[in-house]
Amino acid sequence: MAKVLIVEARFYAQLNDMLLKGARAAIEAAGHTHETVTVPGALEIPGALALADQSGLYDAFVGLGVVIRGETYHFEIVAGESARGLMALAMDGLAIGNGILTVENEAQALVRADPAQKDKGGEAAKAALAMLALKERFG
Each domain of the chain, given as residue ranges in start order, spans: 3-138
Fold assignment, 3-138: Rossmann fold (3.40.50)
Q: Is 136 annotated as a binding residue?
A: no
Q: DSSP per residue over 18-45, as a string?
A: HHHHHHHHHHHHTT-EEEEEEESSGGGH
| Res 73 pLDDT > 90 | no
The SS3 call for residue 73 is coil
Looking at residue 70, its pLDDT comes to 87
Share of the chain above pLDDT 90, in %: 95
Q: pLDDT tens for residues 13-51? A: 999 999 999 999 999 999 999 999 999 999 999 999 999
What mean pLDDT, rounded, does the chain reach? 97
Task: Please state whether the predicted TM-score (pTM) of the whole model is above 0.85.
Answer: yes
Q: Is 45 annotated as a binding residue?
A: no
Report, as an integer, the average pLDDT of 79-106: 97
The SS3 call for residue 62 is strand
Distance CA 7, CA 10 (A): 9
Q: Is 71 annotated as a binding residue?
A: yes
Distance CA 89, CA 127 (A): 15
Q: Is 96 annotated as a binding residue?
A: no
**Active-site amino acid positions:** 74
Distance CA 34, CA 4 (A): 5
Looking at residue 139, its pLDDT comes to 80
b/e map of 106-119 (b: 16 or more CB within 10 Å)? eebbbebbbbeebb
For helices 106-113 and 13-29, angle between their N-to-C axes, nearest 10 degrees: 20
Report, as an integer, the average pLDDT of 82-92: 98
